[in-house]
Structure 1
Amino acid sequence: MDFLSLLLMDFVKQLQSPTLGFLIGGMIIAALGSELVIPESICTIIVFMLLTKIGLTGGIAIRNSNLMDMVLPALFAIVVGVLVVFIARYTLAKLPKVRTVDAIATGGLFGAVSGSTMAAALTLLEEEKIPYEAWAGALYPFMDIPALVTAIVVANIYLNQKKRRVENEYPSKQPVAAGDYPDQQEYPRTRQEYLSQQQDPADNRVKIWPIIEESLRGPALSAMLLGLALGLFTQPESVYKSFYDPAFRGLLSILMLVMGMEAWSRIGELRKVAQWYVVYSVLAPFVHGLIAFGLGLIAHYTMGFSLGGVVVLAVIASSSSDISGPPTLRAGIPSANPSAYIGASTAVGTPVAIGLCIPFFIGLAQAIGG
């Protein structure tokens, strides 16, 4: 009972933090019809500065630490990123009115990482004076890239298999009525049209490196990897202490306000798709986070990984990509419906991850740590 009481008290306390307050405030003013608009260019600069700061922190820490300490947490991050996609493939995809390709794309987005959610978690850990490895933010790409690559590969394998089945089952020349044709958005209406669009089988193979390259060139990972490299190979401590560190919390509060407004505006998109996406978006962040939390505890008890680091691992697993993930999936799985995976992520998944999962996992860590 003491454990549950402590967990509940910490959870309520975290909901009152400034970081989460700005997120909730953004949703409230958007619901009230506020015409407040923060230009996209400003948001882009804010995201760049936040992720560069996280990268600098990680780079400086890695330069001064034992790389072997990162091996197990990084391995667990990869495992979670891949696993999340398969969870969506074999749960969400089996629900009524959910297209398999949309479910896989949703899994990819939820397996990828939100830099803003991670930044919020790091801020709250510092406010609670919970120690964590400064390099914990560098776990970002170890989960983000495998999730996106896995989603695109799995989706393309599924679509190629379905095309082969259609090729075998289609009458040679007879057109098929639109209502009789499964997933009509993805295929031509006759076998002849279908065959005319086919390329050499070798062209249907999923190429892994272009997906990785696209992810690495995305704005979120680019900013963070830039900061990581600068922290590793230069001496950025002076600019870090005088500029990036003091500005971090203020910039994050603005971004949380924007994300709250964006989340509310995206709710309408969920009306266009199966309501199971709402259920998934509420439950998935907790399920993914608990899997990562459990793996993090293994690293905690075997390698001395801090409980704060366990929270970071759980939070990035709870998050869903809000910057680099959507354009990568649009390009890699063009037949998937963006209203499904982006609406589920932005309108429900992100607020749940920031507003509920962060305080939950911080409270869980505090309760375990006594």
Structure 2
Amino acid sequence: MDLILDILSTMLSQLQKPTLAFLIGGMVLAALGSKLEVPQPVYSFVVLLLLLKIGIGAGISVREADLVALAVPAIGAAIAGILIVLLGSVTLAKWRGVSNMDGMATVGLFGAVSASTLAASMAVLDGEGIAYEGFIGALYPFMDIAALVTAIVLARMSAVRQTAGSVQASGTMTLGGGAKSAGGGAWDGAMVKGILIDTFRSPAISALILGIMLGLFARPDAVYASFYEPLFRGLLSILMLVMGMEAWSRLSEMRKVAHAYVLYGLTAPIVHGLIGFGIGLAAHHLTGFSAGGAVLLSVMAASSSDISGPPTMRAALPEANPSAYVGTSTGLGTPVAILSIPLFMALADRFIGF
């Protein structure tokens, strides 16, 4: 009972903080029919600066980090991304009436990471004076790439099996040739390589990796402290406002898809966040991973990709319906993930201690 009261109290206090207040404010404006609009170039520039800030900060911290302390949560982040996709592949993707391709595209986004949600959680912890490892931003690509690649490969493998089964059922398959060539090992290696290349070339991952490399090798400490750090909170508030308005507008798209997406979008972030928290707790016992780090790993797992994931899915799985995976991710998953930050803070405080 005390734990529930602690969680509710923390959630209530966090709703009054700027990060969550701007998100809710954007949703309210959209609900009231406001014509307020942030131009797309401005939004893209804000996202770029936030990703560079996170990446540069991570790179600077990695320079001084213990490799073991970094390796354990990095491996854990990749495992979390894969586990989330595998869980979705036997739940949402198997739901009656849900296309396997649409379902896998959706769980791929939910396994990947929202940079804006990660930035929001960092701002919340900073506002509370809660310490966390500076290399947390470097964990982003591990979870992101692992989830996207796993989801796309599983979706493609399922499509190939269905095609081969249809050919066999129609009696047109030649002696042992069709199924093997359709599902053999030649195509998947090239496909995975192409997916990896496309993912690394995506704007979000490119900016994040660039920031990490600059932080590691360019010694940008001065420009980081004088430019990126002071702008961070203001830019984040703009991003939260835009995401709130977009989240509300995306809710209308949910009428076009099965009710399963609504249930998944509302529950998956909490379940996935608990997976991330479990991995963060294990990393704490193995390497002394901080309570703040466990919160951020939980939020990364709870989040769903809003920048790198959708274009990757559109390119790799053109058959999937964007109304399903983008609507579920942006309209439901992102708000639930951000609003769940206090939950994971309360759990970390209870099981690890700030």
Per the shorter chain, which TM-score range?
A: over 0.9
The amino acid that maps onto 2:192 is I
Q: Which AA in structure 2 matches 1:311?
A: V
Structure 2 equivalent of residue 232 of structure 1 = 216
Pick the aligned partner of 1:363 from 340, 346, 350: 346
4+ runs of 1 displaced by more than 3 Å?
198-206
* 1:68 pairs with 2:68: yes
CA contact (8 A) 1:8 1:363 kept: no
What are the within-5 Å matches in structure 2 for residues 168-187 of structure 1?
168-170=168-170
How far apart in 2 are the matches of 1:16 and 1:203? 54
Indicate conservation of the 8 Å contact 1:299/1:305, yes or no. yes
- Corresponding residue of 1:275: 259
What is the aligned-residue identity percentage?
Answer: 52
User: Which of 201, 204, 219 does residue 217 from structure 1 map onto?
Assistant: 201
Tell me the CA shift for residue 366 of structure 1: 2.2
Q: Give the letter for the 1:78 counterpart.
A: A
Q: What is the TM-score with the length of structure 2 in the denominator?
A: 0.94
Mapped contact 2:257–2:324 kept (Cα < 8 A): yes
Contact 2:160-2:183 at 8 Å conserved across structures: no
Match status 1:17 vs 2:20: no
Q: Match for 1:367: what amino acid?
A: R
For residues 3 and 185 of structure 2, what CA distance do their matches in structure 1 show? Answer: 57
Question: In the TM superposition, what is the alpha-carbon distance from 1:275 to its structure 2 partner?
Answer: 1.0
Q: Structure 2: which amino acid aligns with 1:223?
A: A
Kindly indicate whether the alpha-carbon contact (under 8 Å) linking 1:137 and 1:312 is maintained by their aligned counterparts in 2: no
Deviates more, 1:198-207 or 1:128-137: 198-207
Give the Cα–Cα distance (whole angstroms) in 1 for the partners of residues 17 and 113 of structure 2.
Answer: 22
Aligned twin of 1:318: 302
What's the offset of the Cα at 1:201?
Answer: 6.3
Distance in 2 of aligned mates of 1:103 and 1:28: 29
- The corresponding residue for 1:338 is 322
Q: Whose Rg is larger?
A: 1
- Provide the rounded CA distance (Å) in 2 between the counterparts of 1:199 and 1:299: 41
The residue that corresponds to 1:52 in the other structure is: 52
Deviation at 1:202, TM superposition (A): 6.8
Deviations 1:104-139 (A, max 9, x none): 111101001100000000000111111100101110
Match of 1:183?
none
What is the aligned length? 347
Please give the TM-score of this superposition, normalised by the length of structure 1: 0.90
Residue 3 (1) aligns with residue 3 (2): yes
Query: 308, 311, 320: which one pairs with 2:292?
Result: 308
Per-residue CA distance 1:63-89 (angstroms, 9 max, x = gap): 112111111111111111111111111
Distance 2:217 2:183 in 1: 45
- State the Cα distance separating 1:303 from its structure 2 match: 0.9
Equivalent pair of 1:117/1:315 in contact (CA under 8 Å): yes
**Post-superposition CA distance 1:293-346 (Å, at most 9, x none):** 011101112210001000111001001110110111111111111111111001
SS in 2 for 1:37: coil
Quick one: distance in 1 between partners of 2:4 and 2:350? 8
Partner in structure 2 of residue 248 of structure 1: 232
Question: Partner residue of 1:109?
Answer: 109
Query: Match for 2:29: what amino acid?
Result: I
